[in-house]
């Protein structure tokens, strides 16, 4: 690693675009009054994050409450990349047409009945990009 880095804040549109460019992230929720984090795959649709889970998932106890979702793409060698965190309410997707469409769009990565869909509509979006710092030339 050489050179210095700086952090550039992403606009909400840039952040959601980056979030939609990767296939997985981490959902953060409360379990037994403690923070819990699970890696999950997702799609971004209409500015919301959609994830699939199973009926016994601890995350389902967080439906109706605030959760966070984070995804990133940071290169380990250059240490350049980005991170996006959204915060919003977790809600079940229950309308039959939406359920069918999201089940087609979002294939589970693990075996088992992943038949529960959760939508997180962002109330807060925080995104940043790690970029190479520009050198300032003093003359």
Q: Taking the model in full, what pTM does it have?
A: 0.89
Query: Strand 116-132 and strand 5-9: pairing?
Result: antiparallel
Ramachandran category for residue 3: left, alpha or beta (phi over 0 → left; psi -120 to 50 → alpha): left
pLDDT tens per residue across span 78-129: 999 999 999 999 999 999 999 999 999 998 888 878 889 999 999 999 999 9
Comparing C-alpha atoms, which of 8, 130, 21 is closest to residue 80?
A: 130
Averaged pLDDT of the chain: 90
Contact by Cβ (8 Å): 127, 10: yes
Structure tokens at 84: 């996006």
Percentage of residues in the chain with pLDDT exceeding 70? 94
Q: Which residues contact 81 (CB under 8 A, 6 or more apart)?
A: 72, 73, 74, 75, 129, 130
């Amino acid at each position: 690693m050489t050179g210095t880095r700086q952090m550039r804040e992403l606009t909400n549109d840039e952040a959601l675009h980056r979030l939609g460019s990767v296939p997985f992230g981490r959902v953060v929720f409360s379990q037994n009054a403690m923070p819990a984090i699970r890696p999950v795959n997702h799609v971004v649709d209409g500015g919301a994050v959609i994830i699939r889970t199973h009926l016994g998932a601890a995350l389902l106890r967080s439906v109706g409450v605030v959760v966070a979702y984070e995804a990133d793409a940071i290169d380990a060698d250059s240490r350049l990349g980005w991170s996006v965190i959204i915060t919003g309410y977790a809600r079940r997707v229950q309308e039959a047409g939406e359920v069918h469409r999201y089940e087609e769009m979002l294939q589970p990565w693990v075996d088992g009945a992943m038949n529960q869909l959760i939508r997180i509509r962002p109330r807060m979006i925080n995104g940043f990009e790690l970029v190479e710092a520009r050198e300032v030339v003093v003359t």
